[in-house]
Amino acid sequence: MRPDHRRTAIADEAARIMQEQGLRDFRSAKEKAGSRLGLEDRGALPTNVEIEQAIAERNRIFRPDEHEEIVDTLRRAALEVMHALAEFDPRLVGPVLAGSATEHSTIDLHLFSDAPESVGSALAALGLPARAVEQRLRTRRDDSELFPGYRFRRDGLEFCALVFRERGRGNAPLSAVDGRPMRRATGRDVAALIEARAAQRPPTST
């Protein structure tokens, strides 16, 4: 199999694994895909962008209507929590914002506060028991930083809210997909995405 065909095959299999198993780590998905296909040559591994494109293609081909409904549900849930945590100027990031989320996806939020524990107190006041976590993100090409945050569930959906310093609004960490600063969306942005999707739907017949 030619190198470009190997890359495509691994990207497709990694996309399937990430969708069906809810795996979030691109590297693990690539390694599993290569092992299953007997294509473990590291020189043939696809980029994270290629896997994201394969996920989008699978969604388009195999379940376009179901996928749109899943993304809408997750975005609406994100918006409700963002409104509840408005004091922390929340931003939506990750697959739910990008539109590549599956039913296994976590709703990723970035919050801003110089006192991370205040986020935990706010979640408790909302009746949302949360577990404190830390997540390492790349802040520059050759540098990374641990950020505090909380994982919690609401209405059966998983959330991860990382807390950044107040001055961190303009310095988004780098995306694991393409290495560029993460796209962050305000509540207004998310509402606009939901409204735009609703406007694109064909009217229901009566």
195 and 157 assigned to the same domain: yes
Residue where a domain terminates, one of 11, 37, 62: 62
| pLDDT 10s digits, 119-154 | 999 999 999 999 999 999 999 878 899 999 999 999
49 and 87 assigned to the same domain: no
**What pLDDT was estimated at residue 155?**
95
Q: Is 205 a domain residue? A: no
16 and 52 assigned to the same domain: yes
Provide the CATH number for the domain around residue 174. 3.30.460
| pLDDT 10s digits, 66-102 | 888 999 999 999 999 999 999 999 999 999 999 888 8
**Helix 48-62 to helix 3-21 angle, to the nearest 10 degrees?**
60
Range(s) of the domain holding residue 58:
3-62
Nearest-angstrom CA–CA distance, 61 and 32: 23
Mean pLDDT score of the chain: 90
SS3 of 26-85: HHHHHHHHHHHHCCCCHHHCCCHHHHHHHHHHHHHHHCHHHHHHHHHHHHHHHHHHHHHC
Handedness of CA 105, 111, 114, 119 (dihedral sign): negative
Nearest-angstrom CA–CA distance, 64 and 62: 6
Q: How far is CA 118 from the centre of its chain?
A: 24
144 and 56 assigned to the same domain: no
45 and 76 assigned to the same domain: no
Q: Is 206 a domain residue? A: no
Q: Residue type at 54? A: A
48 and 71 assigned to the same domain: no
95 and 115 assigned to the same domain: yes
Nearest-angstrom CA–CA distance, 63 and 51: 17
50 and 70 assigned to the same domain: no
Number of domains in the chain: 2
Q: Is 168 a domain residue? A: yes
Q: Considering the entire predicted model, what is its pTM?
A: 0.81
46 and 72 assigned to the same domain: no
149 and 97 assigned to the same domain: yes
